[in-house]
């Protein structure tokens, strides 16, 4: 273990060293922000914009959202805020060009702006809060635009609702969406959970962008009864819930990857019944109905499989 | 990780963070002093809506009602409400209440003052009705499950002559109720103080099992869990950096510390008439975390997280058995103490417009500092088994992953990446380390602007230290490699495509293949193959009509082997799971007042298990499920303020499961089962509601300053 700790510390320090070097380099930035700063803002802010857009309900719906709160100094319409141009960039050229959308930052798949330019305007405010870990996440690496998931000019952003979120995430994560129609699953279809109950789409330092540091910390934030530490621990449980469970859904009961006893026998081949092959003879109509196979299978007896605090719980039977 | 190393890390992060904040802020050059926003229709006043109606269901049972709460035929109230209030001084309140007539009801009320503070109270009810087809001979009395007077014990279920008259229906169901209180105070545009208290109550009846040596029972076990958690902290956000420091405390408790059940069989040893199960012990998790980011030159972002915590439990032990005279062992509690740590550093950069780089280094420590105990134990409340040492499991895990993408031209982008996952296990485990090294490459081509295709190919090789089958009793066959420790070769391919065929027609496709080979393991898991494919087509010819069709297929194949002992060759078991889903639907607004939506879903699955032993091949009956669901929603806007909404849902769910089919309480000689049956339903659900909107539209032009 010492070797691991040492290598981990060395890796982190190397990374930090590299960062320090980069930080010291002070290379001039030629990014979209600099280009935008050189452009002119509109003369009257949102009043200029509404001169043309006031009749468009798709635009005006912004005034039903958090982005249009005059009392919020952190928002674009707060005191001194850049209003529409906080997100769309300086609009002077857009006005001068009679509404040419290539002259402002526009959002969506038909935009002239690159995904990076679009996201930069959102992250200008949100990288300090909701999108803390955006840069290191899979969505950033995949050039996903903020507006691929979020709708800003609507009273209620659909991705903020459980049902809307599932549909939006399913646009790319089709396999996980299909998992929701399997025999065992979490209650996402009923709107009692959302993808963000477990995952942080804006990035996280946990595997699979989980909301907690590890798989187990995420699962036990609701299933705290399995958190332990137990007197008798089951090693794969303490290590990672996904050793046995598929959290997105399974055609097996209890989100299991495989049905007992076969699941258990991927690890347990000790002398006696753990190693014995269970065949159809052990089924209800098979001539020799077997408690190793029917009802709960192994957990008919080893029911405390997540761990036991009973002094005699050595084999998770008490 | 030792303290000095932790400090070193924190110092490093702090130094990098400090240097990043030294990067000059870039104040806006815009002069907004004349921006009055006189035409802005900021929301003001109160508006809301309320929905009330009736919901009728026929054929509903636990299968349909598992998470909805609609678990029996009959009528239910269908009610919901929402509202918003906003004052010109920035104070506001919102509320949303949904499914008020059902156990799955939820809602929140929030309020505050813009930019100053906000408060939110929420409630979420979550039923979980698993089985309503079981029957039990046991009668619950608090934490004791007893058998009725006149119970006839026997050596097997067939001899329990009073079983038939003793059975009473039992439902395996529970309910999770979560109340949360969230508050935030915005001390300045840069500083936020936040706190959230959450209380989750989860109680009901679970399905568990227990045995008296070779004779088992399934039990409807009462439980009553409460988890309280508090997360609080402070966040600071600058233009080029931010940091968030927080504390998380979570306290779990079970009102039942144990439960006792009668032995329905003739005792194997005299006096073994009772069994006792320990319930999950109360535990406490506490964590301190700091997370943040910093914007560096060269369009580089640093993210970091440092988290340390402890997980403790010290619940009192039960006596070693329910046999008369059994004692509580010494020590009388575990004093369990696990130290958790998580450190992560990420760097993402776009030094060139065509090049993106990213790298993350993560350390996770699970250091179980609990002292191993040597305790006497009794086998299933039947006879003494000697003494045993309680193993403790610790692990250090380091993950390094990174990747780079480069745009060769506007129509082609390539990328490479890799991951190293290094786990070192604590003493006393069957392996001392595993290492998984993964590499991948991908390419994305965009031959025409609306068509994009990405192919990703990779492999991963997991190695492990030598395997010591004797390290953990009970001893395993030395030829088996446990699943999570087993050396493994993996190859994987992923293909995704998206095509905006026309402005109204889009098509996407996704496919993946992954093959895991465990063949260096003589016994245990040998191979896992996974194939998935899905596609989606949407057509939106006009604003008033949108349609979709999507389908998917998945096949998951497992091959494993074992050793019966008497045979000369290992047995094999192959399991193939297949799953399809097909859905289609659309939304149509034929007239201004009418809205119609229709969704159809068909999702069957099949699971086939075949075994081979001693040259004899045998197949289990096929397990299958079939979900067939149609949903129709029809809304009519009667007046500008009133909408009538009609909903019809038809769902059939059928399944076949050889573990449950035809298994009654006495089907197995040595298992007194609950006799729960596979999921099945055939439901028709109607809902008719009226939604009324009240209050004004709430948009009034005003000046922002």
Residues within 8 A of A (CB atoms), B 132-171 only: none
- DSSP per position, B479-517: TB--GGGS-EEEEEEEEEEEEEEETTEEEEEEEEEEEEE
Taking the Cβ of residue B335 and every Cβ of chain A, the question of whether any pair is shorter than 8 Å is answered with no
**pLDDT on residue B696:** 60
Put residue B640 in one of left, alpha, beta given phi > 0 → left and psi -120 to 50 → alpha.
alpha
Q: Say how many C-beta atoms besides its own lie within 10 A of residue B229's C-beta.
A: 18
**pLDDT on residue B16:** 39
Searching chain B, which residue's CA lies closest to the CA of residue A237? B393
Average pLDDT over residues B623-651: 97
**pLDDT on residue A38:** 45
**pLDDT on residue B564:** 84
Mean pLDDT score of chain A: 87
Average pLDDT over residues B324-332: 94
Taking the Cβ of residue A266 and every Cβ of chain B, the question of whether any pair is shorter than 8 Å is answered with yes
**pLDDT on residue B484:** 87
Percentage of chain B beyond pLDDT 90 is 83
Taking the Cβ of residue A57 and every Cβ of chain B, the question of whether any pair is shorter than 8 Å is answered with no
Mutate to test the interface with A, among B274, B278, B618 (most CBs of A within 10 A): B278
Percentage of chain A beyond pLDDT 90 is 66
- Per residue in B560-616, pLDDT (tens digit) is 999 887 667 899 999 999 999 999 999 999 988 999 999 999 999 999 999 999 889
Closest to B659 (Cα-Cα) out of A245, A296, A287: A296
- Given a cut of 90, whether residue A185 has pLDDT beyond it is yes
Provide φ and ψ at A163, rounded to 5°. -65, -45
Positions of E strands within B374-504: 374-379, 383-389, 395-409, 412-425, 433-445, 451-464, 488-502
Compute the distance between CA of residue A245 and CA of residue A257 in angstroms, rounded to an integer: 5
- Per residue in B181-206, pLDDT (tens digit) is 999 999 998 999 999 999 999 999 99
Mutate to test the interface with A, among B69, B107, B114 (most CBs of A within 10 A): B114
- B611-615's contacts with Cβ under 8 Å and 24+ in sequence apart are B611/A277, B611/A278, B611/A279, B611/A280, B611/B571, B611/B572, B611/B573, B611/B574, B612/B571, B612/B572, B612/B573, B612/B574, B613/A277, B613/A279, B613/B564, B613/B567, B613/B571, B613/B572, B614/B567, B614/B569, B614/B571
Searching chain A, which residue's CA lies closest to the CA of residue B13? A16
Question: How far apart, in Å, are the Cα atoms of B643 and each of B85, B244, B440, B639, B690?
Answer: 22, 45, 54, 7, 6
**pLDDT on residue B476:** 83
Residues within 8 A of A (CB atoms), B 396-455 only: 396-400, 403, 405, 422, 424, 426, 429, 433
Yes or no, beta carbons of B393 and A238 under 8 Å apart: yes
- Given a cut of 90, whether residue B249 has pLDDT beyond it is yes
**Mean pLDDT lowest for which of A19-23, A74-78, B270-274, B433-437?**
A19-23
**pLDDT on residue A1:** 44
Average pLDDT over residues B529-549: 96
Yes or no, beta carbons of A63 and B43 under 8 Å apart: yes
**pLDDT on residue B182:** 98
Taking the Cβ of residue B25 and every Cβ of chain A, the question of whether any pair is shorter than 8 Å is answered with no
Higher pLDDT, B626 or B696: B626
Confidence label for B29 from pLDDT (cuts 50, 70 and 90): low
ipTM value: 0.93
Contacts of B558 (CB under 8 A, 6+ apart): A258, A262, A266, B525, B527, B528, B574, B575
- Given a cut of 90, whether residue A263 has pLDDT beyond it is yes
- Per residue in A15-27, pLDDT (tens digit) is 444 433 333 333 3
- Per residue in B293-320, pLDDT (tens digit) is 999 998 899 999 999 999 999 999 999 9
Record the tokens describing residue A94, joined without a space: 């857009």
**pLDDT on residue B68:** 94
- Per residue in B481-493, pLDDT (tens digit) is 888 889 999 999 9
Taking the Cβ of residue A43 and every Cβ of chain B, the question of whether any pair is shorter than 8 Å is answered with yes
CB nearest to B43's CB, from A13, A64, A203: A64
Residues within 8 A of B (CB atoms), A 102-121 only: 109, 116
Yes or no, beta carbons of A311 and B524 under 8 Å apart: no
Average pLDDT over residues B161-169: 97
Residues within 8 A of B (CB atoms), A 161-200 only: 171-172, 174-175, 178, 181-183, 187, 189-190, 192
- Given a cut of 80, whether residue A37 has pLDDT beyond it is no
Q: Which residues of B touch A259 (CB under 8 A)?
A: 575, 607, 609, 623, 659
Residue pairs spanning A and B at CB distance below 8 A: 543
Q: Which residues of B touch A69 (CB under 8 A)?
A: 42, 90, 114-115
**pLDDT on residue A307:** 97
For residue B538, the distance in angstroms to the closest alpha carbon of chain A comes to: 11
Higher pLDDT, A18 or A227: A227
**pLDDT on residue B1:** 39
- Given a cut of 60, whether residue B355 has pLDDT beyond it is yes
**pLDDT on residue A31:** 46
CB nearest to A128's CB, from B237, B334, B667: B237
Confidence label for B545 from pLDDT (cuts 50, 70 and 90): very high
Mean pLDDT score of chain B: 92
Closest to B5 (Cα-Cα) out of A1, A10, A214, A18: A10
Yes or no, beta carbons of A60 and B252 under 8 Å apart: no
Yes or no, beta carbons of A31 and B298 under 8 Å apart: no
Average pLDDT over residues A129-141: 83
> What is the H or E stretch that residue B209 is in?
strand B191-212
Yes or no, beta carbons of A79 and B705 under 8 Å apart: yes
- Per residue in B438-466, pLDDT (tens digit) is 999 999 999 987 899 999 999 999 999 99
For residue A148, the distance in angstroms to the closest alpha carbon of chain B comes to: 14
- Given a cut of 80, whether residue A117 has pLDDT beyond it is yes
CB B394 within 8 A of CB B366: yes
Residues within 8 A of A (CB atoms), B 496-525 only: 496, 500, 508, 510, 512, 523-525
Yes or no, beta carbons of A269 and B524 under 8 Å apart: yes
**pLDDT on residue B40:** 93
Searching chain A, which residue's CA lies closest to the CA of residue B70? A190
CB B342 within 8 A of CB B370: no
- Given a cut of 60, whether residue B28 has pLDDT beyond it is no
For residue A196, the distance in angstroms to the closest alpha carbon of chain B comes to: 16
Taking the Cβ of residue A233 and every Cβ of chain B, the question of whether any pair is shorter than 8 Å is answered with yes
């Amino acid at each position: 273990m010492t070797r691991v700790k040492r290598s981990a510390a060395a890796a982190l320090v190397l990374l930090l060293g590299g960062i320090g070097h980069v930080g010291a380099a002070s290379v001039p930035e030629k990014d979209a922000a600099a280009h935008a700063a050189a452009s002119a803002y509109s003369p009257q802010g949102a009043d200029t914009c509404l001169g043309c857009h006031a009749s468009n309900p798709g635009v005006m719906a912004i005034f039903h959202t958090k982005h249009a709160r005059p009392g919020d100094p952190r928002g674009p319409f707060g005191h001194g805020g850049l209003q529409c141009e906080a997100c769309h960039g300086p609009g002077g050229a857009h006005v001068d060009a009679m509404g040419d959308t290539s002259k402002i930052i526009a959002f969506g798949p038909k935009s002239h702006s690159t995904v990076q330019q679009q996201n930069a305007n959102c992250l200008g405010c949100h990288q300090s809060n909701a999108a803390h870990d955006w840069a290191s996440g899979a969505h950033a690496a995949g050039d996903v635009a903020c507006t691929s998931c979020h709708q800003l000019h609507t009273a209620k952003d659909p991705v903020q609702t459980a049902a809307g979120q599932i549909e939006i995430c399913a646009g790319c994560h089709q396999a996980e969406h299909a998992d929701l129609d399997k025999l065992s699953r979490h209650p996402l279809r009923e709107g009692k959970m959302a993808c963000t109950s477990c995952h942080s789409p804006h990035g996280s330092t946990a595997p699979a962008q989980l909301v907690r540091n590890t798989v187990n910390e995420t699962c036990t934030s609701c299933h705290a009864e399995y958190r332990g530490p137990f007197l008798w621990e089951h090693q794969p449980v303490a290590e990672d819930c996904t050793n046995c469970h598929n959290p997105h859904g399974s055609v097996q009961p209890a989100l299991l990857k495989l049905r007992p006893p076969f699941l258990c026998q991927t690890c347990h081949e000790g002398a006696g019944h753990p190693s014995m092959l269970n065949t159809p003879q052990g089924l209800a109509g098979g001539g020799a109905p077997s408690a190793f196979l029917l009802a709960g299978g192994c957990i008919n007896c080893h029911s405390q499989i997540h761990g036991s605090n009973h002094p005699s719980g050595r084999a998770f039977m008490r | 990780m030792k303290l000095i190393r932790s400090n070193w890390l924190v110092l490093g992060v702090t130094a990098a963070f400090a240097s990043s904040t030294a990067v000059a802020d870039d104040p806006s050059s815009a002069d907004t002093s004349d921006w009055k926003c006189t035409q802005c229709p900021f929301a003001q006043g109160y508006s809301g809506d309320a929905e009330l109606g009736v919901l009728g269901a026929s054929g509903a049972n636990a299968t349909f009602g598992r998470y909805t709460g609609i678990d029996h035929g009959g009528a239910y109230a269908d009610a919901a409400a929402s509202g918003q209030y906003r004052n010109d001084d920035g104070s506001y309140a919102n509320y949303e209440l949904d499914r008020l007539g059902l156990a799955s009801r939820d809602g929140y009320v929030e309020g505050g003052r813009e930019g100053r503070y906000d408060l939110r109270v929420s409630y979420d009810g979550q039923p979980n009705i698993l089985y309503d087809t079981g029957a039990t001979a046991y009668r619950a009395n608090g934490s004791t499950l007893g058998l009725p007077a006149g119970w006839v014990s026997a050596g097997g279920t067939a001899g329990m002559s009073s079983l038939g008259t003793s059975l009473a229906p039992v439902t395996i169901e529970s309910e999770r109720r979560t109340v949360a209180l969230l508050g935030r105070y915005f001390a300045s545009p840069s500083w936020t103080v936040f706190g959230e208290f959450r209380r989750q109550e989860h109680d009901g009846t679970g399905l568990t099992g227990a045995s008296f040596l070779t004779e088992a029972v399934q039990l409807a076990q009462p439980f009553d869990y409460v988890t309280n958690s508090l997360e609080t902290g402070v966040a600071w956000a600058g233009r080029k950096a931010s940091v968030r420091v927080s504390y998380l405390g979570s306290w779990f408790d079970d009102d039942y510390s144990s439960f006792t059940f009668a032995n329905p069989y003739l005792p194997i040893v005299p006096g073994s008439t009772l069994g006792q199960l320990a319930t999950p012990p109360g535990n406490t998790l506490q964590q301190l975390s700091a997370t943040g980011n910093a914007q560096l030159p060269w369009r580089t972002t640093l993210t970091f997280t440092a988290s340390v915590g402890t997980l403790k439990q010290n619940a009192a032990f039960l006596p070693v058995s329910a046999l008369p005279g059994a004692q509580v062992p010494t020590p009388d509690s575990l004093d369990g103490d696990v130290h958790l740590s998580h450190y992560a550093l990420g760097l993402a950069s776009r030094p060139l417009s065509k090049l993106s780089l990213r790298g993350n280094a993560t350390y996770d420590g699970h250091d179980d500092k609990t002292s191993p105990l040597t305790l006497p134990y009794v086998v299933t409340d039947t006879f003494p088994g000697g003494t045993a040492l309680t193993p403790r499991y610790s692990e250090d895990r380091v993950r390094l992953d990174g990747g780079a993408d480069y745009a060769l031209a506007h129509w082609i982008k390539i990328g490479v990446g890799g991951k190293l996952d290094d786990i070192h296990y604590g003493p006393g485990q069957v392996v001392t380390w595993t290492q998984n090294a993964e590499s991948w490459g991908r390419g994305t081509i965009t031959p025409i602007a609306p068509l994009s295709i990405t192919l990703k190919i990779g492999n991963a090789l997991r190695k492990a230290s030598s395997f010591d089958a004797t390290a953990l009793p009970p001893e395993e066959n030395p030829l088996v490699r446990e699943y999570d420790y087993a050396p493994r070769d993996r190859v994987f391919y992923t293909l995704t495509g998206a095509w905006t065929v026309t402005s109204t027609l889009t098509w996407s496709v996704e496919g993946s293949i992954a093959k895991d080979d465990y063949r260096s393991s003589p016994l245990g898991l040998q191979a896992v193959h996974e194939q998935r494919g899905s596609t989606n087509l949407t057509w939106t010819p006009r604003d008033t009509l949108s349609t979709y069709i999507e389908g998917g297929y998945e096949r998951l194949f497992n091959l494993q082997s074992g050793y019966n002992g008497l045979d000369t060759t290992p047995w094999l078991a192959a399991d193939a799971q297949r799953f399809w889903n097909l859905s289609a639907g659309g939304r149509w607004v034929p007239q201004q007042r009418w809205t119609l939506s229709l969704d159809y879903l068909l999702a069957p699955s099949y699971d086939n298990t075949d075994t081979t032993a001693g040259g004899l091949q045998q197949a289990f009956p096929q397990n299958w499920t079939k979900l067939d669901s149609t949903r129709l929603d029809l809304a009519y806007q009667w007046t500008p303020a009133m909408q009538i909404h009609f909903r019809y849902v038809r769902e059939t769910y059928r399944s076949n499961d050889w573990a449950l089919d035809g298994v009654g309480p006495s089907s197995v000689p040595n298992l007194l089962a609950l006799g729960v049956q596979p999921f099945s339903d055939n439901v028709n659900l109607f809902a008719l509601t009226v939604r009324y909107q009240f209050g004004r539209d709430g948009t009034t032009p005003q000046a922002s300053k």
